[in-house]
Amino acid sequence: MPSFDLIVIGAGPGGYVCAIRAAQLGLKVACVEGRETLGGTCLNVGCIPSKAMLHASHMLHETHENFEKMGLMGARPTVDWAKMQGYKQDVVNGNTKGIEFLFKKNKVTWLKGWASIPAPGQVKVGDDVHEAKHIVIATGSEPASLPGVTVDEKTVVTSTGALALPTIPKSMVVIGAGVIGLELGSVYARLGTAVTVVEYLDAITPGMDGEVAKNLQRILGKQGLKFVMGAAVQGVDVAKGAASVRYKLRKTEADAAIEAETVLVATGRKPYTTGLGLEALGVEMEPRGQIRINDHWATNIPGIHAIGDAVTGPMLAHKAEDEGMAVAEVIAGKHGHVNYGVIPGVIYTTPEVASVGQTEEQLKAEGRAYKVGKFPFMGNARAKAVFQAEGFVKMLACKETDRILGCHIIGPGAGDLIHEICVAMEFGASAQDVALTCHAHPTYSEAVREAALACGDGAIHA
C-alpha cells in the first residue's frame, strides 16, 4: 500500500496550496484530483475564466465608450465569440498547467481520480488504497439548487454553463444579485445581451457595506443592467429553448414573469463532500452541510482535517489558500494561523468593489464609536484621466483610538488597493499611519490615503 505523510483531497486553491506548502515543509505529499486538470473550480470554471471574460468584455466596452473621447477613431471591433472563448481557454490552460508544473517542482504526487476515505489513515482512489498519516479534505463547493428550477447548463445555467455558452444570448435573466450574478451579468451586458437581475433582497450583494452596494447598483444600472429587487423566484419554465422566470414580489405578493433566452442561476453555492464516505466515518457536520472543524481545521476524527468551501466561512479562493497553508503548517508541527478578521472580498465588475474588515452597518449594530473617512475618485487625477472617476474609498476607524476597523472601496483597481489596508489592519495601524505614508502621484492609491486623511483633519483634494 503506497504511503504518504499527507494526502490532500481536491486540487483547488485550498488543496493545491496546502499540498505545495506541506511538501516545502518536508512532508511526503499526494493530492487527489478527479478533474482532467488541476486548479479546481477557481482555475477551471470560476475565478480565472470569468476574469478573462470580464477583461475581454471590458476592453470591448472601452472601445465603444471611451476610445473616441481619446481621439482613437475607426471601426469599432465586433465580437468573434469562438475566438474569445479560445482566449479564455488559453488563460485557463496556462494556469492549470502552471499548477501541474508546481506539483512536479515540489514533488507532490498527483493521484488522478475521485477519492473516498474508507477508514481513518486511508484514501481510496479508483481501486488503489493509499495510506496517509494525515488527510486534508479540500473538496470545495458546487452551485446550490433552487426549488422549481432545473439546471440543464444550456438554457438554465450555473456559472459553469454561463462561461461556455455556444452563442451570446440576446436576453438573460440572472437569479441572484451576488458576486457571480453581477460579474457574469456585467460580461454579457457589455457583449450586448439584455440582462435583468432578479434579487430576493432589497439590496444587491448581501453583507456588503450598504453605501457601496447602493452605488454599485446605480453604476451597473447605468451600464444597462436592469434590476428587479425584492423578488422571490418561484420557478423557471423552459419551452422550445426559451425560459420564463416566475417570481413573486415580496412587498405586494404580486406574481410576475420575465422571458429570456438564457437564465443564470447564481443564488449561492454549497459544500461538496459527496462520495467521500464521511457519514460512515462519523465525521461531524454543520447543520448547513459544512464539515465541522476546530480552530486547527481538525475534524472530530483524528488525522482528518478540512479547509476551504467545504468548511464554514466565506467561499473565497484566498480564504481557502490561507487555510491550506495554515493547516499544512499545523500538520508539519508548526504554527498555522488565519486572521479571519482581515479577509478581503472583491467583486470584479467595472468599477471594482473591494472590502475588508467591518461594514458601517456592523459597527452600528455593535454600538461601536467610529468615524468615517470618505474620498471620491472624482478628486483623484489618475482616475479622472482614464474615465474611472466614479466611486469612492470609505475608511472606518475607531473614534477613540483611530485604529482602522474596515475599508470599502468602489472604484478603479479597488481589488488591488484594498491590500494596503489589509496589511495596515494586520499591523493594527491607525488611519493616521496610512495618512502619514507617502503615496506616489498620480496613482489610484492616493484616494486611499485621502480617505485616511479624511478620518483626521481632512482630505486635501475633496
Tell me the residue nearest to ligand NAI as measured from the CB.
178
CA 138 to chain centre: 17
Nearer to ligand NAI, 131 or 259 (CB): 259
State yes or no: residue 184 binds ligand NAI (CB under 6 A).
no
Nearer to ligand NAI, 31 or 213 (CB): 213
State yes or no: residue 169 binds ligand NAI (CB under 6 A).
no
Q: Residues in contact with ligand NAI, total (CB under 6 A)?
A: 25
**Binders of ligand NAI among 299-358, rule CB under 6 A?**
315-316, 346-348
State yes or no: residue 413 binds ligand NAI (CB under 6 A).
no
Interface residue with ligand NAI among 180, 213, 414, 455 (CB under 6 A) is 180
**Least gap, CB of 203 to ligand NAI (angstroms):** 8
Cα–Cα distance measured from residue 206 to residue 138, given in angstroms and rounded to the nearest whole number: 26
Nearer to ligand NAI, 148 or 458 (CB): 148
Interface residue with ligand NAI among 178, 185, 344, 411 (CB under 6 A) is 178
State yes or no: residue 447 binds ligand NAI (CB under 6 A).
no
**Least gap, CB of 400 to ligand NAI (angstroms):** 33
State yes or no: residue 48 binds ligand NAI (CB under 6 A).
no
Nearest in space to 234 (alpha carbons), one of 153, 152, 175: 175
Annotated catalytic, 441? yes
Nearest in space to 404 (alpha carbons), one of 428, 423, 375, 420: 428
Q: How far is CA 295 from CA 40, 298, 357, in A?
A: 24, 7, 20
Q: Which of 64, 296, 441, 461 is catalytic?
A: 441
State yes or no: residue 8 binds ligand NAI (CB under 6 A).
no
Cβ-Cβ contacts under 8 Å for 74 (sequence gap 6 or more):
none
Torsion over CA: 428, 431, 433, 434 (sign): positive
Cα–Cα distance measured from residue 52 to residue 288, given in angstroms and rounded to the nearest whole number: 32
Count CA atoms within 13 Å of residue 122 on its CB side: 11
State yes or no: residue 12 binds ligand NAI (CB under 6 A).
no
Cα–Cα distance measured from residue 390 to residue 447, given in angstroms and rounded to the nearest whole number: 12
Nearer to ligand NAI, 162 or 332 (CB): 162
Q: How far is CA 58 from CA 46, 102, 115, 351, 353, in A?
A: 18, 31, 39, 10, 15
Cα–Cα distance measured from residue 410 to residue 123, given in angstroms and rounded to the nearest whole number: 45
State yes or no: residue 45 binds ligand NAI (CB under 6 A).
no
State yes or no: residue 175 binds ligand NAI (CB under 6 A).
yes
Nearer to ligand NAI, 263 or 331 (CB): 263
Choices 164-172, 174-182, 287-295, 353-361 (CB under 6 A): range interacting with ligand NAI:
174-182
How many of the other CB atoms lie within 10 Å of CB of 240? 5
Give the per-residue contact string, 107-146, with ligand NAI (x = CB under 6 A; - = no). ---------------------------------------x
Give the per-residue contact string, 253-272, with ligand NAI (x = CB under 6 A; - = no). -------------xxxx---
Cα–Cα distance measured from residue 318 to residue 331, given in angstroms and rounded to the nearest whole number: 20
The string of DSSP codes covering 395-447 is EEEETTT-BEEEEEEEETTHHHHHHHHHHHHHTT-BHHHHHTS---TT-THHH
Cα angle 169, 173, 178; round to 5:
120
Cα–Cα distance measured from residue 56 to residue 81, given in angstroms and rounded to the nearest whole number: 11
**Binders of ligand NAI among 192-221, rule CB under 6 A?**
198-201, 206
State yes or no: residue 233 binds ligand NAI (CB under 6 A).
yes
Cα–Cα distance measured from residue 83 to residue 338, given in angstroms and rounded to the nearest whole number: 41
**Least gap, CB of 162 to ligand NAI (angstroms):** 11
Give the per-residue contact string, 25-44, with ligand NAI (x = CB under 6 A; - = no). --------------------
The contact set with ligand NAI (CB under 6 A) reads: 146, 175-181, 183, 198-201, 206, 232-233, 266-269, 315-316, 346-348
Active site residues: 441
